[in-house]
A = this chain, B = another copy of it.
């Protein structure tokens, strides 16, 4: 049995894992939202609940930082990681809220590039949820952040092609503005996943 000098570590890893699992719930709801005939109001409300859970986890994490003498890594990095995971959720929730509030599901179908972006987010969420428990030991983290960055590039490309389509004349100006708002939040969520991965990389550099 390995003896640990840092008995408080596990609580922190737990917060990160729970926050990341919550993001998987979030991207699953986005996938549901993108299906034809989705009950947008219900999905949007469930996204708000998941976002509320994330706020709760972040709040507990901050309280824990304040009450813990020895933390597994720098307090600022724990903050960054916690608030980074929370940022992803804020963007995911905003997508659901905008799709609902703007009545975008009255369109016959959402553009293909939006589905691609939702799919990228779902992959990023699963990778992040799989990586968080491995923070303890820092094993196999490089694969995680390399892949998150690759997916962010893919998301960025999908976002650009989505804008090309939106500006092509296929939709009226107000519909373009509404969908651009959703498109930008989807891309911001991709970026926020990358920011989380960059924070993990920073922590890993300090630990090594």
Contact, CB under 8 Å: B205 / A66:
yes
Residues of B within 8 A of A42 (CB): none
Say if the beta carbon of A9 comes within 8 Å of chain B.
no
Q: Which of A16-24, A122-130, A132-140, A177-185 is near enough to bind chain B?
A: A177-185
Q: Given A173-B173, A205-B79, verify A164-B198 contact (CB < 8 Å).
A: no
A205-B61 Cα distance, complex, nearest whole Å? 12
State how many copies of this chain the complex holds. Answer: 3
A160-B181 Cα distance, complex, nearest whole Å? 10
Q: Given A167-B178, A198-B83, verify A206-B75 contact (CB < 8 Å).
A: yes
Say if the beta carbon of A34 comes within 8 Å of chain B.
no
Whole-angstrom distance from the CB of A161 to the nearest CB of chain B? 8
Contact, CB under 8 Å: A160 / B79:
no
Whole-angstrom distance from the CB of A203 to the nearest CB of chain B? 11
Whole-angstrom distance from the CB of A185 to the nearest CB of chain B? 11
Interface of A is mostly: helix
Whole-angstrom distance from the CB of A181 to the nearest CB of chain B? 7
Q: Given A75-B205, A76-B202, A102-B167, verify A177-B174 contact (CB < 8 Å).
A: no
Whole-angstrom distance from the CB of A8 to the nearest CB of chain B? 15
Contact, CB under 8 Å: B101 / A164:
yes
A27-B74 Cα distance, complex, nearest whole Å? 36
Contact, CB under 8 Å: B160 / A202:
no
A181-B195 Cα distance, complex, nearest whole Å? 23
17 A-B residue pairs with Cβ-Cβ distance under 8 Å, sorted by A, are A65-B205, A66-B205, A75-B206, A79-B205, A102-B164, A102-B167, A166-B177, A167-B177, A167-B178, A169-B174, A173-B173, A173-B174, A173-B176, A173-B177, A174-B176, A177-B177, A177-B180
